[in-house]
Chain A
Amino acid sequence: MKYLPYVLKHLRRNWIRTGSTVMAMAVCIFLFCTLQTIIAAVNYGLKSASASRLVTRHSVSLVYNMPLAYKERIAQIPGVKRVAISNWFGGVMGLPPDFTKFFANFAVEPEDYLAIYPEYVLSDAEKQAFFADRRGAIIGPDLAERFGWSVGSTVQLESTIPPYRIGRPFEFVISGIYEVDEVRYPGTDGRLFFFHHKYLEESTRNRAGAGTFSIEVNDPDQAAAVGKAIDAYFENSDVRTKTETEAAFRAGFVSLAGNLALLLNGIGIAVTFTILLVTANTMSMAVRERRTEIAVLKTLGFGSGLVMALILAEALVLGVLGGGLGLILGKAMIGVLPSLPLIGDVARAFPNLGLSPLIASLGFGIAVFLGLAAGLLPALQAYRARITDTLRTV
């Protein structure tokens, strides 16, 4: 500890170099935290996807709806057990819409949908109340907590999707709050809002088609084949379909598909490596221009190990500063992510988006490791440096 002022004074003396290295390190850790958080969020969403469920959508884009009548036809395809219509409603509270209060809301066919998605655990009484009330809605526990809603609360939502805009907000009454069972159904999103598709149909005078069909198949092993059969069935229709397993659908929904993690990790590793080089360069410059000083320290009786430790400590401070700053930036970025254009839509679709302690400590650990790794070679150089080679005069 008594050596700390010595270490800090060196860093302060070259504050431009110290500052730019710390900034570079911070950007690296910031990127790491943000990317890992996105990956974790995506994976978390995918974890809840069931292998025995398919999602059918318009072949062109999720933006277009399909005829409601497709439901009966899909139900007749062999291997299909159950079908439920589900539309992304895009409803927002407030006038004008307050996007900071955004949450995902869907218009679904209550009975079929809840049968296909057992992870939204409800008591029979709640279910019946929901089924019976055309304006009823069921919500997740996290959503209830966020807005202080309970059974009986009324909610007004106005859609951002043109065909669903009817000049006034939709009114809902909460019929039930589903439970999240992390053991049986890991990855269940506790922030969703479901209401009657019929309510949507009636209010929009049947302008609303079917956004997606959620399909439960009899045999998960046949899921892919059933999906192909559905798409083949509508092959020659006006509106063709695209059917995927739920996992593929969710991955497709973030439009970054399967290699997202690989890509992001690749970027992360490249950036980390670059920062390692930058920091190593800083440290070796620091040591090179201090060769005489290091020899003087050794002459005065500083052991080689101590001199090496001083260099490493300097690199470590760079790592700690960079890591700390990176975490602050990362936390801020992840906080504003949901309200950004484009990315925000994706970010909002995932639950639990926040800088987790694991990712934060991993990010900080990487920064500390980067600092030490960058300092290691110069420190070894300092360790090995012989007084008599450097100081030609005592």
Chain B
Amino acid sequence: MSLLEIKNLSVQFGRKDAPFNAVEGLDLTVNEGELVGIVGESGSGKSVTMMAMMGLLEGQGRIVADKLSFDGKDLLTISARERRKIVGKDIAMIFQDPMTSLNPSYTVGYQIMEVLKVHQGLRGAALKARALELMQMVEIPAAESRLSAYPHQLSGGMSQRVVIAMAIACKPKLLIADEPTTALDVTIQAQIMELLVSLQKSQNMALIMITHDLAVIAEVAQRVAVMYAGQVVEMGAVPGLFRQPVHPYTEALLSSIPEHSKGASRLSTLPGIVPGQYDRPAGCLLSPRCPYVQPNCRQDRPALSPHGEGAYRCHYPLLNKETAR
């Protein structure tokens, strides 16, 4: 049984009579201890998917799914109270900008210990010792004195380490890292990535790595999901998908790798941008930008077709064609 199983997830924003599907018919599974990458341009719904799963869209988005289960628990029917026992403990998430992710009014130590207090009931010396241990696990130098530091006294890289310490505090089974390095200096980016991957191995937790950096995914992930305009357009095991992409969008992403590893969020090989709320096409969502587009692509939205260990959404997959790379 998979640790995380999402079937046909949709997230709608806006009015009921004119909804915007930020996520539409999304399937994703993550097994225990697995590292899954999610890639895709800005606005493709990566963050919204994860926030919906964590229950962080309360009062904003409407969530519909055939299945949304984590560790055998049904996240769709669970009460808010029960969900809070899982979120922050068994599923943890770290966000893009570490400098704004920490509360400026509380010390680093307070914010780490808060998780331990709420979820594990730790108190006193044991609490402090565990907080210190976590700070050392994320390789923060002078950990002891940094416990009483305020977020504004830390650099971006240090802050992200603190956020990571907070996330792994209760030994989560699944950690979601939503573009954890985008806001950091290039020199720090690799260090943080390395830290996350080594923690994933040593803690034996599943890790969903959301990033624009395909090169990193190619190196560390076991599987990867490519998202476009709220859908997974291709999903596959790692060396395979990179060697032989089936979906035109994946192909375009791959051919722009040098750019992406520099943090660019747009594709030069595909003109245009991800369609937003008002310009979603009727047929295949990629049809306005796809170099292989055919007339019926503009009317019929392709369904998910299985392919090897993965799947794709395209009427004219690049199955028998060697890619240009």
Q: Do A and B come from one complex?
A: no
A interface, CB within 8 angstroms of B? none
